[in-house]
Structure 1
């Protein structure tokens, strides 16, 4: 259906693809993986024709419709979210637009003399709209938007009033409603809450076209894809199976490569030793010559490429008292909407609470109350005297000074620290060498998240309050964060839509639902087993 034949592509001095080949066949669901900057987005853009390969070709079967979702959604305003989604549905959206114009014309008194022609045209367009399934289309558009957690009010309101994250969901809904022959989804799991993620999982499982997607959510990828294409070092390598299978296969392949390389190195050393020892002896001249020729012909094995992976190094935090945070009879609302009414919660040392709840249930509000970023309307929030808190919020990323470099930002926060310790801190969070001279304004979401974490963890807190800490992190960085937090000795309270993160780190669950607040003694895995749902109101 879509084929890459010996594709080469260079970006400036950087070689992204070197005679790389791969294929996306009908009905296949493929996960595209590779380190940041390896060329995943470039590959999508070559399929859509936005970029051309320097060599080789990207072959696409005739009449294949392609839907491409990426993080750059462009401008949206002046229409409702439903209209915006329906606009992406191919020919029917053009007919729908004409129908809306004709309806407006029929209501316009200035065009009364044209009314017969308008009504006649309206009849023709209406019949065509019906024939294309237009009347079911609005229902389907609303169904997709509801799956992505839109309320009726948001569906009918001006799309221009939505935040960037919600506009992204509108752009995603357009592609899903279109149901093209091939869907290219670049990070569709970004900006989605856990309920929308689970809905999208079900939708994509039932989608019969070909799917090629990237995602930083391993659980989401594992449940959908049956094949992985890896971009690394200019080549495309295919693995049959899900992401977990790919990880195991890649580790095995690396091990075999390492053993092969070491065996060859030992053999070469032995041969060179023989040549060195006997090259001056006439009696061994022919043997030396034949060995030299043999060595010249040997195809040398390369050592396996080691990926640069960030390692988070948490210095041990000072011990806190047993009661880390206590909420008593807390009331909190916004306008006429009550979020908490008489809420009690005690967080004790070494507990790791994950907070579950649908959008608007009050997850971030709870974290803000405990972090002191907002006050309760009534009741008390008490944080233990020996508690040193580290609070990670999405808002903290917006507070970085765009004109400062990474290093200047660290210096501003820790004026007493030595240059060496700040460089070491930057290195732990993946900023090595000249990276520390990058201005904060040019950083990607993932880089900003890492910088905020570095600042938060320099003087280690014993209580971490984390609001969606993995939102912008790639798979490798996320895995390192999980490993580091797994070894962390302190207390945690966090919100996350990443089920791998939830399962690996929680030992308590706080569930916020319309019919009350529930506390569970085990972690997320036990919560799923005991409730039969992966998120409030959703059955697994």
Structure 2
């Protein structure tokens, strides 16, 4: 269906690909992976013709329909969420508009002299519209929007009133409704909650066309894709299998290459030593020349390339009291909406609470009550003895000063810290060398999230309150954060839509629902086993 054949692509001094190739076959589910800046999004732009390779060719089968979702949704306003979704459904959407115009024209007495031509055109358009499933378009749009978290009253609302994250969902719904031969999805889960991710996973599993996607959701890649294409160091390497299999094979290939390189280097060193030792002796001239020629003919292996991942280790925090935070009879309302009524909970030292609940259930409100960012209407929230709290808000990255550099953002927060220690911390979060001098205004969403996390973690709190800390983080940085938090010798309360993050870090679950809050002993995996669902609102 789609072939990239020996393509090369450069942006200024940055070389993305050299003689790189990949193919997409009918019905395949492919995960596109690689470090930030490797060129994953460029692959999508090459396929849809928004960009061209410097060398090589991109071939797309004639008549192939492609649906492309990226992070730039453009301007959406002036119509309802439903109409905006249906407007992106490709040919069937255009036919629906034409049918409506034809029906209006045929009912207009002033256009009676055109009636025969209008009826003839209607007879051409209507069968095509029917064949494309046009009469099922609106019910399908409702189903997709519901799957992506839109409640019925919101579907009729003006799309222009939505936040950026909800507009992203509308843009994704348009592409899914289109039903193309190939879906190109660039980070489709970035703004989705866990219920919507689970719905999307099921939708894509049943989708009969091909899917090529990038995602920072490890669990989604493991469950959905059957092929991984890695972009790294200018090469595209294809692995048949899920993400875990790809990681195993990549490590195995890297280990084998390192061993081969070491053996070759040892052999070459031996030959070079012989040449250096006997180069000046006439009696060995023939042997020296023979070995020089032999060295020239050997195809040298490239040095091993290891992706540099710096780990962050929490300094041991001071010990807190056994009761870290206590809720007693807490009421919280927003207008007429009751969030909590008579809510009580005690979080004890070393517990790691994952907070679960559908959109609007009050997950972020719970964390804000702990952090003192909002107050209870009744009851009390008491922080325990010797507790030092670190709070990461869902939109913490939006609070960065755009005029400050990455390093300055940390220096302002921690004025007594040495520049070396701050640079080491930033290195763990992917900022090395001159990266620390980038102004915050030019950073991507993922880079801003990493700066915000680094600011919070320099001084070790003994109680972490984290609202979606893994949002926008790439797979490597996310796994680095998980490793660090696993070794954290303190207490945690967190919200996350990442199932791998939930599974690896929680040892308690609090589910917030319409009937109140219910706690579960054991972590997320035990919660799934007990409830037989992966999220409170999972369908």
Could you say which TM-score interval applies, normalised by the shorter chain? over 0.9
Residues 98 and 416 (structure 1), Cα distance of their counterparts in 2 relative to 1, 3 Å cut:
same
C-alpha contact 1:65 1:182 (8 A) present in aligned 2? yes
1:459 aligns with 2:459: yes
CA–CA distance in structure 2, aligned partners of residues 394 and 434 of structure 1:
28
Of 428-437 and 94-103, deviating more is 94-103
CA–CA distance in structure 1, aligned partners of residues 335 and 59 of structure 2:
56
- Matches for 1:70-89 after TM superposition, within 5 Å: 70-89=70-89
Which residue of structure 2 aligns with residue 26 of structure 1?
26
CA–CA distance in structure 2, aligned partners of residues 115 and 374 of structure 1:
65
Residues 504 and 120 (structure 1), Cα distance of their counterparts in 2 relative to 1, 3 Å cut:
same
Q: 1:467-505, CA deviations, whole angstroms, 9 ceiling, x for partnerless residues? A: 000111000000000000001001000000000000000
Which residue of structure 2 aligns with residue 325 of structure 1?
325
CA–CA distance in structure 1, aligned partners of residues 95 and 254 of structure 2:
55
RMSD of aligned residue pairs (Cα, Å): 1.9
Residues 130 and 274 (structure 1), Cα distance of their counterparts in 2 relative to 1, 3 Å cut:
closer
CA–CA distance in structure 2, aligned partners of residues 296 and 390 of structure 1:
59
Which residue of structure 2 aligns with residue 138 of structure 1?
138
C-alpha contact 1:310 1:477 (8 A) present in aligned 2? no
Which residue of structure 2 aligns with residue 420 of structure 1?
420
C-alpha contact 2:406 2:437 (8 A) present in aligned 1? yes
Which residue of structure 1 aligns with residue 288 of structure 2?
288
1:124 aligns with 2:119: no
Instruction: Tell me the secondary structure at the aligned position of residue 324 of structure 1.
Output: strand
Q: 1:307-330, CA deviations, whole angstroms, 9 ceiling, x for partnerless residues? A: 122422321111111000000001
C-alpha contact 1:102 1:118 (8 A) present in aligned 2? no
Of 315-324 and 409-418, deviating more is 409-418
CA–CA distance in structure 1, aligned partners of residues 182 and 133 of structure 2:
21
1:485 aligns with 2:485: yes
1:59 aligns with 2:59: yes
State the shift of 1:235 in Å. 1.0
TM-score of the pair, normalised by structure 1: 0.96
Unaligned runs of 5+ in 2: none
C-alpha contact 1:96 1:134 (8 A) present in aligned 2? yes
CA–CA distance in structure 2, aligned partners of residues 399 and 538 of structure 1:
32
Which residue of structure 1 aligns with residue 269 of structure 2?
269
How many residues were matched structurally? 536
CA–CA distance in structure 1, aligned partners of residues 276 and 337 of structure 2:
85
Q: 1:451-482, CA deviations, whole angstroms, 9 ceiling, x for partnerless residues? A: 11111011111000000001110000000000
Q: 1:35-84, CA deviations, whole angstroms, 9 ceiling, x for partnerless residues? A: 11011111100000000111110011111111100000000001111111
Which residue of structure 1 aligns with residue 226 of structure 2?
226
Of 332-341 and 129-138, deviating more is 129-138
C-alpha contact 2:446 2:473 (8 A) present in aligned 1? yes
CA–CA distance in structure 2, aligned partners of residues 286 and 491 of structure 1:
73
State the shift of 1:408 in Å. 1.8
Which residue of structure 2 aligns with residue 166 of structure 1?
166
State the shift of 1:531 in Å. 1.3
Instruction: Tell me the secondary structure at the aligned position of residue 469 of structure 1.
Output: coil
Residues 120 and 131 (structure 1), Cα distance of their counterparts in 2 relative to 1, 3 Å cut:
farther
CA–CA distance in structure 2, aligned partners of residues 120 and 378 of structure 1:
71
TM-score of the pair, normalised by structure 2: 0.96
CA–CA distance in structure 1, aligned partners of residues 182 and 395 of structure 2:
36
1:500 aligns with 2:500: yes
C-alpha contact 2:2 2:25 (8 A) present in aligned 1? yes
C-alpha contact 2:309 2:428 (8 A) present in aligned 1? no
- Matches for 1:82-121 after TM superposition, within 5 Å: 82-101=82-101, 113-114=110-111, 121=118
CA–CA distance in structure 2, aligned partners of residues 104 and 449 of structure 1:
52
C-alpha contact 2:31 2:212 (8 A) present in aligned 1? yes
Q: 1:235-288, CA deviations, whole angstroms, 9 ceiling, x for partnerless residues? A: 111000000000000000000000000001111111122222222333322222
Which residue of structure 1 aligns with residue 350 of structure 2?
350
State the shift of 1:404 in Å. 1.1
State the shift of 1:116 in Å. 8.5
Q: 1:411-430, CA deviations, whole angstroms, 9 ceiling, x for partnerless residues? A: 21122222222222322322
C-alpha contact 2:106 2:118 (8 A) present in aligned 1? no
- Matches for 1:225-244 after TM superposition, within 5 Å: 225-244=225-244
Which residue of structure 2 aligns with residue 2 of structure 1?
2
CA–CA distance in structure 2, aligned partners of residues 116 and 194 of structure 1:
57
Which residue of structure 2 aligns with residue 476 of structure 1?
476
Residues 112 and 385 (structure 1), Cα distance of their counterparts in 2 relative to 1, 3 Å cut:
farther
Instruction: Tell me the secondary structure at the aligned position of residue 188 of structure 1.
Output: coil
State the shift of 1:97 in Å. 2.2
Instruction: Tell me the secondary structure at the aligned position of residue 380 of structure 2.
Output: strand
State the shift of 1:127 in Å. 4.0
CA–CA distance in structure 1, aligned partners of residues 431 and 268 of structure 2:
38
CA–CA distance in structure 2, aligned partners of residues 74 and 460 of structure 1:
41
State the shift of 1:135 in Å. 2.2
